[in-house]
Amino acid sequence: MSAYDWLPDFLDRLKADNVLLEDDSITALAKVPMLILEAEDWGRAAAQAQAFGLRWMGGWADQLDEAFHVSACLAHQHEVLVLRAMLSLEIPVLPSHTPWYPGADHMERHTQDMYGVLFSDHPDPRRWTRHHAWGENEYPLRSDFPLAGTRPGPMPTDHNYRYLKAQGAGVYEIPVGPVHAGIIEPGHFRFQAVGEQVLNLEIRLGYVHKGIEKIAVGRDAPGLARLAARISGDSTVAHGWAACMAMEQAAAVQVPERASYLRAIMAERERIANHLGDIGAICNDVAFAFAQYQFSRLRESWQRVSQQVFGHRFMMDCVVPGGVASDVDGAGLELLRSGLEPLRAELVELMAILDDNPSLEDRLATTGFLSAAIAAKFGATGYVGKASGQDIDARRDMRYAPYDRLEVVVPTSQNGDVQARMHIRSQEVFASLDLLTQLLRDIPAGEIRSDWRTASEVEGIAVIDGWRGEIMTYVRFDADDRIARFMPRDPSWFTWPALEQLIHDNIVPDFPVCNKSVNGSYSGHDL
Partner 1 sequence: MLKLFNKIRKTGVITEDVPEGRDPAFEEVGEQLRAKVGEIFSGSLAIREVDAGSCNGCELEANALNNSWYSIERFGIHFVASPRHADLLLVTGPVSRHMEAALRRTWDATPNPKLVLAMGDCAADGGEFGVSYASCGGVSSIIPVDGVIRGCPPTPMSLMKAILALVEKRTDND
Footprint of ligand SF4 (CB under 6 A): 230, 233
Distance CA 330, CA 175 (A): 54
* Residue number with CB closer to ligand SF4 (13 or 230): 230
Provide the residue type at 480 as one letter: D
Which of 211, 218, 222, 332 forms a contact with partner 1 (CB under 8 A)? 211
Per-residue contact flags (x/-) with partner 1 for residues 463 to 482, judged by CB under 8 A: --------------------
**What is the DSSP annotation of 90-114?**
S--EE--STTT-GGGHHHHHHHHHH
Specify the pairing of strand 93-94 against strand 118-119: parallel
445 binds partner 1 (CB under 8 A): no
- CB of 233 vs ligand SF4, minimal distance in Å: 5
- CB of 268 vs ligand SF4, minimal distance in Å: 21
Provide the residue type at 250 as one letter: A
Which of 90, 144, 356, 505 forms a contact with partner 1 (CB under 8 A)? 356
| DSSP class of 54 | P
Picked from ligand SF4, partner 1, none, the partner binding residue 164 (CB below 5 to 8 A depending on kind) is none
Picked from partner 1, ligand SF4, none, the partner binding residue 40 (CB below 5 to 8 A depending on kind) is none
User: Of 243-251, 259-267, 344-352, 508-516, which segment contacts partner 1 by CB under 8 A?
Assistant: 344-352
Start-to-end Cα distance in the chain = 39
Residues shown for the chain: 527
The answer to whether the bond into 256 is cis (omega within 30° of 0) is: no
215 binds partner 1 (CB under 8 A): yes
Specify the pairing of strand 79-88 against strand 32-37: parallel
* Residue number with CB closer to partner 1 (226 or 396): 226
Provide the residue type at 475 as one letter: V
Provide the residue type at 423 as one letter: H
Maximum CA extent, the chain: 70
Contacts within 8 Å (CB) and 24+ apart, 293-300: 294/346, 294/350, 295/350, 298/343, 298/346, 298/347, 299/273
* Residue number with CB closer to ligand SF4 (219 or 453): 219
Instruction: Give the closest residue to 466 by CA, choosing from 426, 521, 513, 412.
Output: 521
Q: Identify the burial level of 139 via C-beta atoms within 10 angstroms of its C-beta, where 0-12 means exposed, 13-18 middle and 19 or more buried.
A: buried
* Residue number with CB closer to ligand SF4 (230 or 337): 230
- CB of 475 vs partner 1, minimal distance in Å: 17
- CB of 495 vs ligand SF4, minimal distance in Å: 21
Which of 6, 36, 118, 158 forms a contact with partner 1 (CB under 8 A)? 158
User: Of 5-13, 226-234, 256-264, 490-498, which segment contacts partner 1 by CB under 8 A?
Assistant: 226-234
232 binds partner 1 (CB under 8 A): yes
Picked from partner 1, ligand SF4, none, the partner binding residue 366 (CB below 5 to 8 A depending on kind) is none
Picked from ligand SF4, partner 1, none, the partner binding residue 510 (CB below 5 to 8 A depending on kind) is none
Which of 98, 112, 294, 492 forms a contact with partner 1 (CB under 8 A)? 294
Instruction: Give the closest residue to 365 by CA, choosing from 415, 414, 425.
Output: 415
147 binds partner 1 (CB under 8 A): yes
- CB of 316 vs ligand SF4, minimal distance in Å: 7
| CA angle at 229 for the pair 253 and 116, rounded to the nearest 5° | 90
Tell me which residues in 304-333 interact with partner 1 (CB under 8 A): 307, 313-314, 316
Q: Identify the burial level of 147 via C-beta atoms within 10 angstroms of its C-beta, where 0-12 means exposed, 13-18 middle and 19 or more buried.
A: exposed
Picked from partner 1, ligand SF4, none, the partner binding residue 227 (CB below 5 to 8 A depending on kind) is partner 1
Question: Residue 284 CA to chain centroid, in angstroms?
Answer: 25
Q: Are 167 and 473 in contact (CB under 8 A)?
A: no
- CB of 33 vs partner 1, minimal distance in Å: 34
Q: Are 315 and 270 in contact (CB under 8 A)?
A: yes
Which of 4, 6, 52, 134 forms a contact with partner 1 (CB under 8 A)? 134
- CB of 230 vs ligand SF4, minimal distance in Å: 4
Sheet of strand 469-477: strand arrangement = 459-466, 469-477, 483-489
Which of 13, 44, 76, 226 forms a contact with partner 1 (CB under 8 A)? 226
Instruction: Please report, to the nearest 10 degrees, the dihedral formed by the alpha carbons of residues 93, 96, 97, 103 taken in order.
Output: 110
| Closest residue to ligand SF4 in the complex (CB) | 230
* Residue number with CB closer to partner 1 (354 or 463): 354
Q: Is the C-alpha dihedral spanning 370, 373, 377, 383 positive or negative?
A: positive
- CB of 344 vs partner 1, minimal distance in Å: 15
* Residue number with CB closer to ligand SF4 (222 or 233): 233
Distance CA 350, CA 338 (A): 20
Which of 48, 96, 111, 236 forms a contact with partner 1 (CB under 8 A)? 236
Q: How far is CA 261 from CA 176, 438, 447, 475, in A?
A: 43, 10, 11, 23
Per-residue contact flags (x/-) with partner 1 for residues 391 to 430, judged by CB under 8 A: ----------------------------------------
Picked from partner 1, ligand SF4, none, the partner binding residue 118 (CB below 5 to 8 A depending on kind) is none
Site for partner 1 (CB under 8 A): how many residues?
A: 66
Instruction: Give the closest residue to 347 by CA, choosing from 434, 288, 224.
Output: 434
Q: Which residues bind partner 1 (CB under 8 A)?
A: 131-134, 140, 145-151, 154-158, 178-179, 181-186, 206-212, 214-215, 226-227, 230-234, 236, 277, 290, 293-294, 296-297, 299-301, 303, 307, 313-314, 316, 349-350, 352-353, 356-357, 521-523, 526
